[in-house]
Structure 1
Amino acid sequence: MVAFVPSFVCFFLFCVGVVRDRRRVGNAVLLGLAVVFAAIALFLHLASEKAQLGHDLGVALLTLAALGVVTLAWFLIANGITMVRKEGRSPANLLSLGAGVALVALLALLVTALVLHTHTLLVVAATAVALAGYVAFMFLCFLFYGALYGRLRIRRRADYVVVLGSGLIGGTTVPPLLAGRLDRARKEHARLSRRGRRPVLLTSGGQGPDEKLPESHAMADYLVTQGFPADLIEREDRSTTTDENLTFSKALMEKANPDYRCVIVTNNYHVFRAAVTARRTGVRGHVIGAPTASYFWPSAMIREFVALLVAYRRTNAAIFLLVLLSGLFIWWLGWPSTGAVALAGQ
C-alpha cells in the first residue's frame, strides 16, 4: 500500500484544487500524476507478486504503446489531409498533419537508433522520447481534465451569458461554428430563466480587418432572427482575442453589476483554455461548450493545447531545457557505453 501513497496524495490535492477553483491548470496535472503513480504502483505490486506476470504485462504495455503511436500517427495524418481539403492550408489547419508527421519522424529516429547502435544517436533518441513523453503527458492531462471540466454542472446563479466570437463568413455572416455557440447560449439562457432570473446575453467580438461589421453585432443580429429578445442582448465590440473577449466583457459586467456572475459559451474544444483565461483575467464565471464537427476537433484541440503551452511558456521552457541538459550530460558521461550498446544488439 505504501507504493500507492503518492497517488493518494495527488488525488487528494486534485480534489482540493477542484473545490477551490476548477479552472486551474494544476488540477489537470495533479489528476494525471495521480493516474500515473497509481499505474506504476499497481505494476510494481503485480511484479512483486509474480515476476513473470510483471514481465508479461510490461511487454504487453510496450506493444500496445507502439501500436497506439502508429495508429495515432495514421489518424492524425488522415485527419490533417481532411482538414486541408475542407478548411484550406492555413497553419492552424496543418496542426494534426504536422503532429502525425512528427510521430512518424520520432518512430523513424527510434528504429534508426536501435539498428545503428551508435552512442550519440541513442542519446538523441532517448532525449526525443523524453520530450515527446512530457508533451504527451501534458496533452492527455489537458484532454481528459478538459472533458471532465466540461461535464461539471454549474450550480451558481448567472447574471450574464457571454458568447465568445469568431470570424464571419464574407465579413457579415455568422458561420456554423459560431451559430452553434449562439444556439448553445440560447439554451443556457432559457435554462437560467426557468430558475426565475433572466440574464443578459452578452455577445463578445470586435471587427477584424476583413470584416464589414463587429462580430458581436452579427451575433446579435443572428440571435434576433432566431427569436431572441433584442432588449436582453448587450454587445462588446472591441475585442480581437480570447483574452480581450473576457477582459472587455468583464469591464462591462462589473460596471453594470459589481457582484455579477456569468456563464461563458464557446465551442467544446475551447472550453478549458477559455476557463483558464477567465481565471487569469479575473472573470467570475465558468465555461460551457457547443458541439464541433468531428473532423475539425483534432486540429482545434492541438491548437488549444499549443496555446496553453505558450501561456505557461516559462514553466514548459524550463522543463524542456532540463530534459535537453540531462541528455547532454548523459552523452558527456558516455552512457550507454559502447560495450553496453554492443551487448544490447546481440
Structure 2
Amino acid sequence: MVAFVPSFVCLLAFCVGALRDRRRVSNAVLLGLGVVFAVMALFLRLASDRPQLGRDLAVALLVLAALGVITLAGFLLANGVTMVRKEGRSPANLLSLGAGIALVALLALLTTALALHTRTLVVAAATAVALAGYVAFLFVCFLCYATLYARLRIRRRADYVVVLGSGLVGGDTVPPLLAGRLDRAREEHARLSRRGRRPVLLTSGGQGPDEKLPESHAMADYLIERGFPADLIEREDRSTTTEENLTFSDALMRRARPDYRCVVVTNNYHVFRAAVTARRTGVRGHVIGAPTAAYFWPSAVLREFVALLLAYRRTNAALFLLVLLGGVFLWWLAGPHSGHAGLLGG
C-alpha cells in the first residue's frame, strides 16, 4: 500500500484544488500525476508478484506507444494539410503540421540512435524523448482536464452572459465560428431566463485594423437581427485579446454589480484556457463552449496548449533547462574519460 501513497496524495490535492476553484492549471497536473503514480504502483505490484507477466506487459506497452506515436504523427500531418488547404498558412494553422513533423523527426532520431549506437546520438535521443515525454504528459493532462471541465454543470445564478469575440469576416460580418458562440450564448441566456432571471448579454471585442466596426457591435447586430432584445445587450468594445476581453468585461460588470456572477461563452477548444485566464483576471464566473468544426479542432487545441505553456513559461523553461542539463551531464558521464563509455556505445 505504501506504493500508492504518492497517488493518494496527488488525487487528494486535486480534489481540494477542484473544490476551491476548478479553473486551476494545477488541477490538471495533479490529476495526471495521481493517475501516473497509481499506474506505476500497479505495475510495480504486478512485476513483483508475476515478473514474467510484468516484462511482457512492459514490452506490449512499448510497442503500443510506438504504434501510437506513428499513428498520431500521420493524423497530425494529414490534419495539417487540411488546415493549410482550408484556412491558409498562418502560424496558428501550421501547428498540427509542425507537431506531426516534430514526431517524425523524433522517430528518425530514435531509429538512427538505435542503429548507430553512438554516445552523442543516444544521449541526444534520450534527451529528446524526455522533453517530448514532459510535453506529452502536460498535453494529456490539459486535454483530459479540459474535457472534464467542459462537462461540469454550472448551477449558480448568473447576472451576465459574456461572449468573447474572435474576429470578423470582410471587416463587418460575423463568421461561422463566432456565430456558434453567439448562438450558444442565446441558448444559455434562455436557460438562465427560465430560472426567473434576466441576465445581460455582454458582447466583448474591439475593432481590429482591418475591421470596419468593433466586433462587439457586429455581434450585437447579429443577435438583434435574430430577435434578441436589444435592451438586454451591453457592448465591451476596447479589447483585442482574450485577456483584455475578460479584464474589460470584468470592469463593466463590477461597475454595475460588484457581486456579479457570469457565464463566459467561447468555442469548446478555447474553454479551459479562457477559464484559466478568467481566474487570473478576477472574473467571477465559469466558461462554456460552442461546437467547432472537426477539422479545425486539433490545430486549435494545440494552439491553446501552446498558449498555456507560454503563460507559465518560467516554470516550463526551468524544467526544460533541467532536462537539457541532465542530458549534457549524461553525455559527459558516458565520455571516454569516465570509464562508462561502454554503457552508451563509446
**TM-score, scaled relative to structure 2:** 0.98
Question: Letter of the aligned partner of 1:54 in structure 2?
Answer: G
For 2:265, give the aligned amino acid: V
Matched, 1:21 2:24: no
2:7 corresponds to which letter in structure 1? S
Separation of aligned partners in 1, 2:11 and 2:343: 39
Q: Give the aligned partner of residue 339 of structure 1.
A: 342
Q: Give, as a single letter, the amino acid of the residue that structure 1 aligns with 2:73.
A: A
Report matched runs for 1:1-346 at 5 Å: 1-334=1-334, 337-342=340-345
Please give the alpha-carbon distance, in whole angstroms, between the structure 2 residues aligned to 1:140 and 1:228. Answer: 39
Give SS of 2:292's match. Answer: coil
Q: Contact between 1:142 and 1:305, CA under 8 Å: does it hold in 2?
A: yes
Equivalent-residue separation in structure 1 for 2:238 and 2:179 (angstroms): 20
Q: Secondary structure in 1 aligned to 2:288?
A: strand
Please list every run of at least 4 consecutive aligned residues from structure 1 whose deviation after the TM superposition is greater than 2 angstroms: 335-343
**Kept after mapping to 1: 8 A contact 2:334/2:343:** no
After superposition, the C-alpha distances for 1:127-172 in whole angstroms (9 at most, x for unaligned) are 0100000000001111000000001111111000000001111011
Aligned amino acid, residue 207 of structure 1: Q
Post-superposition shift, 1:333? 1.1
C-alpha displacement at 1:340, in angstroms?
Answer: 2.7
- Alpha-carbon RMSD: 1.1
SS in 1 for 2:167: coil
Contact 1:167 1:215 in 2 (8 A): yes
Determine the C-alpha separation between the residues in 2 that align with 1:87 and 1:206.
Answer: 23
Matched residues in 1 for 2:192 and 2:9: separation? 37
For residue 226 of structure 1, report the CA deviation from its aligned partner: 1.2
Whether the 8 Å contact between 2:334 and 2:344 is mirrored in structure 1 is no
Alpha-carbon distance between aligned partners in 2 of 1:288 and 1:341, rounded to the nearest angstrom: 51
Distance (whole Å) between structure 2 residues aligned to residue 234 and residue 6 of structure 1: 49
In the alignment, the residues of structure 1 paired with residue 157 and residue 318 of structure 2 have an alpha-carbon distance, to the nearest angstrom, of: 40
SS at the partner of 1:162? strand
What secondary structure, in the 3-state scheme, does the structure 1 residue paired with 2:240 have?
coil
Q: Residues 45 and 205 (structure 1 numbering): CA distance in 2 closer, same or farther, change over 3 Å?
A: same
Give the deviation of 1:248 after TM superposition: 0.3
Deviation at residue 339 of structure 1 after TM alignment: 2.2
Identify unmatched segments of 5+ residues in structure 1: none
2:261 and 2:285 in contact (8 A); partners too: yes
* Distance of aligned partners of 1:67 and 1:328 in 2 relative to their CA distance in 1, 3 Å threshold: same
Change (3 A) 1:105 1:125: same
In structure 1, C-alpha distance between the alignment counterparts of 2:282 and 2:208, rounded to whole Å: 25
List runs of 5+ in structure 2 lacking aligned partners.
none
Residue identity (%): 82
Kept after mapping to 2: 8 A contact 1:28/1:141: yes
* CA-CA distance at 1:195 after TM superposition: 0.7
> SS of the residue aligned with 1:265?
strand
* Paired residues of 1:207 and 1:215 also in contact (CA < 8 A): yes
Contact 2:207 2:213 in 1 (8 A): yes
Deviations 1:226-255 (A, max 9, x none): 111110000000000000000000000000
Q: Measure, in 1, the Cα distance between the counterparts of 2:55 and 2:264.
A: 49
Question: For the residues of structure 1 that align with 2:49 and 2:204, how far apart are their CA atoms?
Answer: 59
Q: 92-101 or 329-338, which moves further after superposition?
A: 329-338
2 CA distance for matches of 1:296 and 1:328? 39
TM-score (norm. length: structure 1): 0.98
Letter in structure 1 aligned against 2:282: G
